[in-house]
Amino acid sequence: MTTQASIEAKPVLLQELAASCGHGLRDIWIDHFQHILAHLVFHHTKKEQEGVLKFIAATTDIHIQYIRRCSVQNQVNELVLGLHEHRNH
């Protein structure tokens, strides 16, 4: 969905889906960036990858390098602090 939204330059559908789940699209992209990146690498062309990464950076107002850092930091925090067991409680 992110790939198609980036091609069409329309994040509205993704924002509505995120909101219906009670989350912000920016938070979802940061929290799950490692999964998005893996999907892009294995299933999309280099041109599509670049388009999606630019789209995510533009819609989050965060440079991709910092999103990657935030994503890794969130994983480390959850592992170290055991927050994954207490999430959404």
Contact 46, 19 (CB under 8 A): no
Burial of residue 9, with CB atoms counted within 10 A of its CB: 0-12 exposed, 13-18 middle, 19 or more buried = exposed
Res. 6: pLDDT tops 60: yes
Res. 3: pLDDT tops 70: no
Taking only the tens place, the pLDDT of each residue in 24-69 is 888 887 778 878 888 888 888 888 888 888 888 887 787 776 766 6
Number of domains in the chain: 1
Domain of 9 in residue numbering reads as 2-85
Res. 4: pLDDT tops 70: no
In degrees, to the nearest 5, what angle opens at C-alpha 46 toward C-alphas 40 and 52? 55
* C-alpha to C-alpha distances, 41 to 6, 13, 34, 49, 72, nearest whole angstrom: 16, 23, 11, 7, 18
**Residue 16: band (very low, low, confident or very high) from pLDDT cuts 50, 70, 90:** confident
Predicted model pTM: 0.59
More confident residue, 21 or 64: 21
